[in-house]
A and B are shown apart, each in its own frame.
Chain A
Amino acid sequence: MAGINLEALAENASRLGTRLQETISEHTRDLAITRGSGAGYLDTPEEKVKLIRKQLDSNSDREKLDAMKRLIALISKGRNVSEYFAQVVKNVASHNLEIRKLVYIYLLRYAEQEPDLALLSINTFQKDLSDSNPLIRAMALRVLSGIRVPMIGSIIVLAIKKCATDISPYVKKAAAQAIPKCCSLDPSHQPEMITVISNLLRDRSPLPIGSVAVAFETVCPTRLDLLHQHYRRLCRTLIDMDEWGQVDLLNLLVRYARTMLPRPSVTEDADGQHEEIDPDLKLLLTSSEPLFQSRNPAVVLAVTRAFQYLGLPSETKKVVSPLLRLLHISSEIERVTLAYILLVARSSPTLFSPHWNSFIVRTDDTQRVKKDKMQLLRLILSPDNYQALLREFTYYADDADDELVADAVQAIGYCARLIPESAQQCLTSLMSFIQSKHDAVVANAVIVLKSLVQTSLHHHQTLAFASTSSAYSPLAIISKLAYRIEDIRHPKARACVLWLVGQYAAVDTSLESHRGPEGVAEWAPDVLRKAATFFTKETSYVKLQIISLAAKLLVLCPSDRTLGLLNRYVLSLARYDLNFDVRDRARMLGSLLSGVTSALGEDEHQDLEGVVLRREQVKMVLFEGKQDVSLDVTATDNGRLLLGSLSAVIGREVALDSYLPEWLEEGVESSLRDSEDDAPQLPIAAQSISSTSSPRAIAPSSRNTPVILTPTGPSPSGSYVRQNGKNNWTDLDKFYADAERTEEDEEEESEEEEEEEEGEGSDDGEEEEEESDRDEAASGEEPETDSADEDADENAHILHHAR
């Protein structure tokens, strides 16, 4: 019985509960409608705006909140509401967190315009810096540093210092974020801020590090030496940081590595290639490699940058599949990633050759993506994949998008030039394009054919294609084009054909049975005849070529009467053309030809003055000097475009604020990077390594068996320090002495050098010192120890000498 009763009771209770919930939700809906929800704030009528001042002064939190929301709404509509500053500042100390947040947002926007009033609120913020809620501490600092009044610079410095030592990593992060603002407010605080940064770098929590890296880049980008001690730990922390921090820190570490670490070297000998890489550089690469699997494209790119600019050539292939993955995230990201892939492919095209089918152009791709894909396909064209790519190009030539058609046809021409075996195939498809009904296809095919023919004829090489089949000898192509002149409507293409006909119309008539005028290919005069008929309807671009054609043919065969007449007809039409270029060309060619025509006794004009050229001379003028063909080259990259920069994406240099330092010949001494963290017995280091396999807080048991993600092994220098303990490490003299001893031979060499340079002044001495420093750096890796006395002697000698 009791059970049943209980059940019934529970049922009733739950029913009551749902009923209550329903009524509450209904009521609130009503309330929301009557009170005006958020959307209402955005359409505040003018009379309400006038009320804001009063509401802000009222005692009720609700009124104040209402007023603040209205203000923020006005801000988002683009109105300037700085007139309420005085009233808003009063509410800075409100107990209501929501009001406070809105006040903060307001203050951040207008504090700069009202510095005097803003100063009123500073006391409150200073008090808030000691609030128990980390959220309030962080926000107070954020607003305080956002008030751009130089007078309070020192207060901000104090606040940042205070927050940088806060227990909450969130507040520390806020402190790091405030540093750049403080420095831009008053650059004189820079030294103090650098101290704060180097303190923050020591922090164990991964949360603030990203912001510290940002602060570092803005405040003291050149002080990379501050990172020595933290480099290894930062590398290991990478994986535990938030995504944005990873991007910022990786970019910083890449810069550090380029400046401070030795360049990885590749040497070749009998056994093949040997690659040598500094353990510290290796550490950076191995600890960033798992981040290729990040869901954030910016992180993937940052890792790609690291591998591209730091990694060994054999490791660059690791960037391929992550980059290909990015292509599928969204169309915008695809667009940007393609630009970066292009950049990588330019330096090593073979990387992407096997993946050509990832770049197949789809009809729904955007214009820009199509263009980039075509460029990429051209870049990765190789004897292995040209068959498939040619099929693709031929297919694209049929597309409805004229730009894609142009790119595709040009790519076929490029392929013919690049891969001789493909030439035959390329020419077949190019010739078939000429039959196409669509102007864009024909025009581009003609232009490409022209440049192919020109190259082959110019180099007097029977291009591979010429020898394989007589149907595609350059002259055969020209004659085919000449026969189709009527179907080729695109002005540029027509001009091309006319030029080709004129330029290569000369034939050796003695060879074969030859019809038509002597010395001219049989198809050439007919082209001129057709062109002359349509002369008046052509664009001036084509007209120019018709005049040239007429002149060339006449020079080749001055005896032919028809040609002479055609020439005269064309020239007289051109003389009265509307375009002055055409008129000029006609006049110029007319007088040039006067020698040729007068020799035939056909000259009707009065005697000419000045120099009259003979036929051979005119021929020289008209035909020679058409030397090099400008190949359609892919956009050349001068190597200054960098992965991960706007310049690379839009294809031109916009600003040079992103740069990659050149490698140093040798890195700095690796023992500089030694720190207590490296000692394996310390729990901290073990923890930071193991945290990749298990979050610290959840599985404390895993600390006992740390799983080492990056088993790079101790660096030689690291082991040296560890073997000798800390006492030896601090003994600088002895340390130097060791170095000197082992590098004695080299020292002697440099001594000799120095003797030669001795007369040149004191600067040399300093150089020498630097040089010996570097020698010491190199020798620091030797784990030998010698007796201290001897070393000290030696050391003194060397130092003396260097001075």
Chain B
Amino acid sequence: MAIDGLVILDNTGRPIIQSGFRSSPPAYPILHIDALNEALSKADRSVDVDPVLYLHNPGEGPSACCHVKRGELRFLGLLSGDTDPLYVFAFLETFIDILKDYFGHLSAETLKENFDVVYQLLEETLDAGGHPSTTSINALKDIVLPPSLLSKVLSVAGVSGLTTLGTSSHPFASPIPWRKAGVRYNTNEIFFDMAEELKGVVNKNGTVAVSSVWGKVHSNCRLSGTPDLLLSFSNAQPLTNCSFHPCVRLQRWTRDKHLSFVPPDGKFILMEYNYTPGGVHHVAVPFALKPLIKCEENGGTIDVTMTSRLTTKALENVRVELYLGEGTTTATCIATNNASWNFDPRTRILHWDIKAVSASSTYSLKGPFSSTIKYVRPSRAFRVQFEIPQHTFSSLKVDQLKMTGEMYKPYKGVRGRSTGDVEWRW
């Protein structure tokens, strides 16, 4: 039960960073990288490569490579023996979050620039036996200094090591593992971002087959000292299947659905939930699609109209996708208003992009497509993705935020945003 090591590949499949594979032969990571690259080049859709790529290497015993793609980078966790792949994926996700927190955004460039920090992070997060060790960002920052302007200045001046020694003399000095000790801010503020995603499938006849809303409460905490917060929602009852940051006192939530916690410093995800309104079975999909697709020999015609069901807000960045089937060569469509469309002959997907679908307005896309195959077989469902800023499906409201343990009065900010990913069958 252990992770053999971690490899980060750039978008050409070349390794940028590799952890030391101490217990395995030098060819071991290369073997996996090659196997993955080969599988990726063979697959029609790169997502169809099994995320747990099994390798039977003769003489070495079985092993597997768990891989995750984030942006242009691909993260590989190698495992041998009967290790739980979920353990590896959980670690990869955590490590990616750490990197994001340290470097802002992830790219091959930033990793190359800060490779020494990445190596130090690897050393701290994954012990030699292949078990994750320190992964709390607040604790890590005591041990491995994030790259900052100050450290750059000092390194140029040639005094970097000394300051490091001074500031990080006490890792785990804080009694709370997720919070640094002695945090000071001039303006004390905390922000809560509620991000909800609607995932649903709508049947041919317009009835909802399944739809569920999954929400995350992102927080950005910039509070001094060790504040003890109590967050209560005005309508927390329909939140089910929640998961929490380790800082949340689970018992309090079970008792009265209040979040009581000492927040970590900086950005973190406070909780995740599933919104299930009582009584109603499904959450309503905020738009309607009227698809009319005729399949003829060597092609067909598409006629889709989209109507917003929202009354006040607009759906933004709407993207409708339809796979037109193998052999499709061209599509020529006409989109109304300020919408655009394009057909990617490589993936054979027709995209229809609408910047904003304002309240109860209607948009349409019409046109023929042609194929080299006699009986065309387009995908049976449209995939519709959209965003609604300043809106939550659950209309979850923060009732109040009480703080104890510190004297100052913090500034609180709450925001909501929603995204959707709906499959509309025709």
Contact = CB atoms under 8 A, between A and B. Distances in A.
Interface of A: 24-25, 28, 31-32, 35, 37-39, 41-42, 60-62, 65, 69, 72-73, 76, 78, 94-102, 104-105, 108-109, 112, 132-135, 142, 145-146, 168-170, 173, 177, 180-181, 207, 210-211, 214, 217-218, 239, 242-244, 247-248, 251, 290, 293-301, 321-322, 324-325, 328-333, 335-337, 340, 357-358, 360, 362-364, 366-368, 395, 398-400, 437-438, 642, 644-647, 649-650, 654-658, 692-699, 707, 709
B48 A357 contact: no
Interface string B242-261: 11111001111010000000
B425 A395 contact: yes
Given A76-B119, A655-B82, A177 B52 contact: no
A69 B116 contact: yes
Nearest to B83: A646
Contact of A333 (B86, B123, B149, B161): B86
A685 B266 CA distance: 33
B151 to A, nearest CB: 9
Contacts of B64: 646, 650, 654
A177 B143 CA distance: 17
Interface stretch (B16-24, B353-361, B363-371): B16-24
23 contacts: A41-B116, A76-B16, A99-B161, A101-B123, A105-B119, A108-B128, A133-B169, A169-B172, A177-B127, A207-B172, A218-B129, A290-B254, A332-B67, A336-B86, A362-B423, A363-B379, A363-B423, A437-B375, A650-B52, A654-B64, A657-B82, A698-B176, A698-B262
Contact of A646 (B81, B116, B379): B81
B138 to A, nearest CB: 12
B383 interface: yes
Contacts of B405: 698
Nearest to B44: A367
A244 B133 contact: yes
Contact of A142 (B81, B128, B377, B383): B128
B133 A76 contact: no
Interface string B154-175: 0110101110110011111001
Sorted nearest first, the 10 A-B pairs with minimum C-beta distance are: A96-B161, A697-B175, A38-B113, A62-B158, A658-B82, A298-B90, A332-B51, A357-B210, A654-B62, A644-B84
Contact of B85 (A39, A142, A646, A696): A646
Contacts of B274: 325, 328
A360 B209 contact: yes
Nearest to A392: B209
Given A37-B113, A360-B209, A400-B380, 4 more contacts: A296-B94, A300-B243, A335-B51, A646-B85
B104 to A, nearest CB: 14
B127 A146 contact: no
Contact of A293 (B158, B164, B243): B243
Contacts of B51: 331-332, 335-336, 366
B230 to A, nearest CB: 12
A648 to B, nearest CB: 9
B399 interface: no
A173 B131 CA distance: 12
Contact of A332 (B68, B171, B323): B68
A28 B86 contact: no
B112 A357 contact: no
B93, B114, B131: residue with the most chain A Cβ atoms closer than 10 Å: B131
A108 B269 CA distance: 35
Given A295-B244, A400-B380, A696-B175, A328 B214 contact: yes
A767 B172 CA distance: 52
Contact of B155 (A65, A358, A362): A65
Interface of B: 1, 15-18, 20, 22, 45, 47-48, 50-52, 54, 61-62, 64, 66-68, 79, 81-87, 89-91, 93-94, 109, 112-116, 119-120, 123, 127-129, 131-136, 143, 149, 152-153, 155-156, 158, 160-162, 164-165, 168-172, 175-177, 199, 201, 204, 209-210, 212, 214, 226, 228, 240-246, 249-252, 254, 262, 269, 272, 274, 323, 325-326, 375, 377-381, 383, 405, 423, 425
Nearest to A248: B131
Given A135-B168, A146-B22, A180-B129, A72 B326 contact: no
Given A177-B127, A693-B251, A72 B244 contact: no
Contacts of B67: 332
B82 A294 contact: no
B325 A400 contact: yes
Contacts of B133: 173, 177, 211, 244
Contacts of B162: 95-96
B84, B90, B272: residue with the most chain A Cβ atoms closer than 10 Å: B84
Contacts of A37: 113
Given A28-B152, A332-B66, A646 B52 contact: yes
Q: Is the interface of B mostly helix, strand, loop or mixed?
A: mixed
A694 B229 CA distance: 12
B160 A65 contact: yes
A97 B161 contact: yes
Given A135-B143, A368-B50, A696-B175, A38 B16 contact: no
Given A207-B177, A242-B136, A332-B68, A644 B86 contact: yes
Q: Is the interface of A mostly helix, strand, loop or mixed?
A: helix
A42 B115 contact: yes
A692 B81 contact: no
A181 B90 CA distance: 25
Contacts of B134: 170
A658 B209 contact: no
Contact of B84 (A96, A169, A298, A395): A298
B373 to A, nearest CB: 10
A1 B61 CA distance: 84
Contacts of A328: 199, 212, 214, 274
A180 B130 CA distance: 11
A243 B135 contact: yes
Contacts of B160: 65, 96, 98
A213 to B, nearest CB: 9
A336 B85 CA distance: 7
A644 B83 CA distance: 7
Contact of A366 (B20, B48, B85, B228): B48
Contacts of A295: 243-246, 269, 272
Contacts of A358: 210
A41 B156 CA distance: 15
Contact of B242 (A242, A293, A692): A293
A330 B45 CA distance: 17
A96 B145 CA distance: 14
B128 A177 contact: yes
A400 B323 contact: yes
B161 A38 contact: no
B246 to A, nearest CB: 7
Contacts of B209: 357, 360
Contacts of A655: 61-62, 81-82
A657 B115 CA distance: 35
A395 B380 contact: yes
B155, B161, B405: residue with the most chain A Cβ atoms closer than 10 Å: B161
Contact of A650 (B45, B54, B326): B54
Contacts of B16: 76
Contact of B135 (A142, A242, A649): A242
Nearest to A41: B115
Contacts of B164: 96-98
A644 B90 CA distance: 13
Contacts of A658: 1, 81-82
Given A146-B128, A214-B131, A25 B149 contact: yes
Given A295-B244, A301-B84, A692-B251, A214 B129 contact: yes
Nearest to B21: A109
Nearest to B274: A325
Contacts of A25: 149
A426 to B, nearest CB: 20
